[in-house]
Structure formats: C-alpha cells, structure tokens
Amino acid sequence: MSQAIDADFVALPLRHLAEAALGRAQELGAQYAAFRLERIRTQALRVRDAAVEGINDAEDIGFSVRVVLDGTWGFASDVVRTVEAAVAATDRAAALARVSAPLNTEPVELAPEPSHGDVTWVSSYAIDPFTVSDAQKVGRLQDWSRRLLDAPGVAHVDAELMAVRENTFYADLAGTVTTQQRVRLHPQLTAVAVDATSGAFETMRTTAPPVGRGWEYLDGAGWDWDAELAQMPEWLAEKLAAPSVEPGRYDLVIDPTNLWLTIHESVGHATELDRALGYEANYAGMSFATPDQLGTLHYGSALMHVTGDRTVEHGLSTVGWDHEGVSGQQFDIVRDGVLVGYQLDRRIASRFGYDRSNGCAFADSPGHVPIQRMANVSLQPAPDGPSTADLIAGVEDGLYVVGDKSWSIDMQRYNFQFTGQRFFRIRSGQLAGQLRDVAYQATTTDFWGSMAAVGGPQTHLLAGAFNCGKGQPGQVAPVSHGAPSAVFRGVNILNTVQEGGR
C-alpha cells in the first residue's frame, strides 16, 4: 500500500531550482547535467533494560548539480534553496570540470537512457513511521524488552529502532523528472545471559531483517515478533550451556537469516563492475570476478541463480529511478552457476560496452556524488524446492546455521569466514542441540560450488542491511538480499576460540 509523497517536500521550490540549474548548464555547454534535491529524515531510538537511553532525530536537506563538461565530471552542492544558489552551484560544478579536464585520461561517456518524463514513485508501506509518536515507539521497545527481561536467565536487553524517510527530486537535461519517497525500518533486540559461576556470557539477537516497510512491520506485517521473542530466552540459555564445536568439515543447512550476508559479501560486492574493473578499491578492495571471465566463470553449482533487482517489493535498494535517471530493473548476475552479469551505472556501462545501465547509481546524501551501488542481490529459490525441515532431514552429519553475526572477507572477495547467531548440530536428519564458537570458512567459488540443494519459495526471506559501505570518502547505502534455505556439502568449520589462541 503506497502513500502520498510528503507535502512539505513537494512544497519546496524543486522545479524552479532544477530549471535554473539545468538552464545554466545548457548555457555552459554541458553534455550531461542533473539536478538532485533530497530531504532525508532519520530517527534512532535506543532502550537499555527497558529504560530509554536516547532518541536522536536528524535531517539532511540540500541539493546538488552534476555535469559532464569537456568529457569530465563536475559536481557541486549547497543547502541554500534559492535560484541564485542553484545557478552558482552549476557554475562551480562547471569550473571543477574545466580545471580537472587536463588531468582526465578517460573522457566520460554515459550509456544512453530514454527520457521518462515527469514521474513519481513511492515505496510500498502502510504507516509512515514518522507519523507514529515517540511515546508509542518507545513503549513498543520497552514492552518487548520487558518480555525478555522477565524470562529466566536473561540479564540485560538492548533494543533499537532506526527509521528513515528519504525524499528525492531529480531532473536532467534529457527531460527525466522524478519525485520519489522511500521509507525503511530496522528494529533490533539483543538479549544477554551471564553464567554467575564462570562469568561466561552469551548474546542472542533477533533475526528480523531491516525492511522497506512502515510501522506496520512492528505490528506483525512480515514478521512474527511474538514468536521470536518467546523463543529467544530458551535459545540463549541453550547457547550459553552448549559445547564448543569440534573443527572439521560438515554439511551445512544455512538459513536465509545468515545466508543473506554471505551473498552480500561474496556475490554482491564482487559483481559491482567498477570494483571488478579496479575503479573501486578504497573501501574493501576489488574483485576476483573480473570481466574477462564473464560467461565462463563457474561461480557455483548449477543450482545457483542470482539476480540483481531494484524493483522487488519492500527491498531496501528498491527505487523507481536511480540517481542518474535510470529506471529500476531486474537482471541476472549468476545463472546456472555461471557469471553472466554485473551491476552497472551509466559511465561503467558505457566503458564496458553495455547498451544501458541497470540502474545502480546512488548517493547517500545530497552533498555526495552518486557512485555505483548495490542492487537487491538475491539467490533465487527452487520453484518446487523443499522446506527447511526437509533440507535438514537430508543431512546425516552437519550444522544448521541461523542469524548473522560477524564476518571477514579478503580484498578480492574470495577467501572468507562467517559466524552466526545459532548453530544447531544435525545428526541423522534431526536437530541435536546447539554448539558454540563456530565459524564457517571457504573460498567463494568452492563455497557456492558446494551448494547441493536449494529450498523452495516457502523458505525465502528478504533480509539485508542499512549500512553497506563503499567509496572514499565513504558512503553507506541500504540493500536487501533475498535467499532461501540451502544445503552446502563439506564446508570447513573453525573453532573460533582455538583460532583465537585461547
């Protein structure tokens, strides 16, 4: 259910400023020019042991002008919303392009994109979280915290809620004018248990993902909060008493609450074409999945079908149009286990000979330059695939992995290790209690090559993160990753205590 775009944003002089900036860019001879005005509202609430720890509200509002002049990028931004400021910003962007042009060894060429006219898009949500009172939000977090605190063995509970409403107005010389609104939420609770005798402690965090939804998410739309909160104390107590894992090779059944992060790090970042080409290396390195391997690299088993998608409902990276005026699209990245595509913006698409960008340009602030950012990169379920219980039943000796925790991956997106919230022992197709101190380690192609079964649509979950980092200076972007449950054979399991030399 979509809502109307915020009236206060629409009342801003969006078109007057855009006309002034783009008119000036034409006078200066720009081959491309785009005006973008954004208002990003963010609220973060924190509750510790059912007591309010803090409420922070922030707003980032301003505009930018981006041009290509003499084959070189120019960019400038401002927070003063007047026609004079828009023209001055355009002049500064043009001046930057001119002074940089002698140093530019690769003239900027952009892949073509048709004009989309004057269009509007709103993400899918029912209740704008910014229309819900702070008292109601705090009350919900306090209620959930008390439920956990009242359970035996729970010593402390941290509860957090982050809400974002992002309004973007974009206009370019090609005639595309977009007005968009996105809403997203990330609620999270962490329970702590302490062994009074030994002093050992363990934590258990909710596995509910951040979502492109509104307040209705906390009322149960898309997640059963009551069920998860009721089970968390028991899971936590079992984890605190669990034996340490014996390292070795195990078959894994990985729940989508964990697998999404492995997709993000080993597939999502690795298939950003700017990273694969070496244009992006400042934040977390480049990629082993280089373009010379497109169409030939066996990324994983034949069961592996990964898509990029800027259109999926409730996705954190879902948009109507990106920050270069490109419409949201869905596209293949890995098909039948083979690398077949990359994530693109308009410059990188042109540089590598693509006819069109697939809409992956984004800036996290009106004061930042759009860079190539990740789509909602997802592993597709098997259309008639089994349930998670059936996948577990097919494993003789293994582990069932639930929830994300820590992760580490090298600068080529190739060698990694991941931990999780819960690791259940599987014996003869049955869950046999939790284990502690577990991490799974592999190289990207070995791991995905070991995928032996993929769950059906009933196992699929759209998870993700608010804070995917990239670039220098760094930017953060929200992104979702869909995944079903899946089985991986013979994966190396580390004991994290032993690995830490303790």
Q: Mind giving me the DSSP string for 390-448?
A: HHHHT-SEEEEEEEEEEEEE-TTS-EEEEEEEEEEEEETTEEEEEEBSEEEEEEHHHHH
Q: Of 81-90, 280-289, 405-414, which range is least confident?
A: 280-289
Tokens encoding 114: 């048709």
Query: For the chain, how many structural domains are there in total?
Result: 2
Residue 256 and residue 215 share a domain: no
Buried b (16+ CB within 10 A) or exposed e, 369-399: bbbbbbbbbbbbbbeebbebeebbebbeebb
We report the CATH number of the domain holding residue 20 as 3.30.2290.10
- What does the DSSP 8-state code read for residue 355? S
Is the residue at 255 inside a domain? yes
Given a contact cutoff of 8 angstroms between Cβ atoms, the answer to whether 301 and 452 are in contact is yes
- The predicted pLDDT at position 500 comes to 82
**Residue 342: both structure tokens together:** 């990359």
* Range 292-300 average pLDDT: 98
The Cα-based distances of 334 to 68, 141, 318, 360 in angstroms read 33, 40, 20, 17
First to last CA, the chain: 52
How many C-alpha atoms does 231 have within 13 Å on its Cβ side?
10
Q: Is 31 domain-assigned? A: yes
Tell me if 379 sits within 8 A of 306, measured CB to CB. Answer: yes
Same domain, residue pair 354 and 407: yes
Coil, helix or strand for 88? helix
Residue 1 lies in a domain: no
Query: Do 392 and 260 belong to one domain?
Result: yes
The answer to whether 50 touches 149, Cβ cutoff 8 Å, is: yes
Q: Which of 189, 206, 241 corresponds to the end of one domain? A: 241
Q: Is the pLDDT of residue 303 over 60?
A: yes
4 burial via Cβ count (<10 Å: 0-12, 13-18, 19+): exposed
Give the tens place of pLDDT for each residue, 176-232.
999 999 999 999 999 999 988 888 899 999 999 999 999 999 999 999 999 999 999
Burial class of residue 272, CB neighbours in 10 A (0-12, 13-18, 19+)? buried
Average pLDDT, stretch 310-325? Answer: 98
CA distance 228 to 273: 38
Distance, in Å, from the CA atom of 230 to the CA atom of 251, rounded to the nearest integer, reads: 29
Integer Cα distance of 444 and 449 in angstroms: 8
Report helix angle 83-100 to 14-27, nearest 10.
Answer: 40
Provide the mean pLDDT of the chain. Answer: 97
Amino acid at site 332: D
Look at residue 423 in the predicted model and tell me its pLDDT: 98
Residue 412 is predicted with a pLDDT of: 95
Q: Examine the domain organization and report whether 266 and 164 are in the same domain.
A: no
CB neighbour list of residue 27: distance below 8 Å, 6 or more residues apart: none
Tell me how far apart the alpha carbons of residues 126 and 373 are, in angstroms, rounded to a whole number. 27
Same domain, 116 and 168: yes
- Residue 2, domain member (yes or no): no
For residues 168 and 213, state if they share a domain: yes
**In a domain? residue 59:** yes
Q: Is 271 in a helix, a strand, or coil?
A: helix
User: What's the pLDDT score for residue 2?
Assistant: 61
CA distance 436 to 494: 11
In whole angstroms, what separates CA 122 from the centre of its chain? 19
Residue 111 lies in a domain: yes
pLDDT at 502 over 80: no
Please state whether beta strands 397-409 and 248-254 pair in parallel, antiparallel, or not at all (unpaired): parallel
- 283 lies in the same domain as 235: no
319 in the same domain as 188: no
Whether residues 43 and 112 share a domain: the answer is yes
Domain presence at residue 83: yes
Residues 186 and 307 in one domain: no
**Model pLDDT for residues 12-63, shown as the tens digit of each residue:** 999 999 999 999 999 999 999 999 999 999 999 999 999 999 999 999 999 9
Is the pLDDT at 91 greater than 70? The verdict is: yes
- The reply to whether 228 and 360 lie within a common domain is no
DSSP line for 218-265 = GGTTT--HHHHHHHHHHHHHHHHHPPBPPPEEEEEEE-HHHHHHHHII
Q: Domain containing 67: what range?
A: 7-241
Instruction: Say if residue 162 is in the same domain as residue 188.
Output: yes
Q: What is the pLDDT of residue 282?
A: 79
Name the domain boundary from 196, 222, 241: 241
**End residue of a domain, out of 207, 241, 275:** 241
Indicate whether 26 belongs to any domain: yes
Evaluate whether 285 touches 410 at the Cβ level (below 8 Å): yes
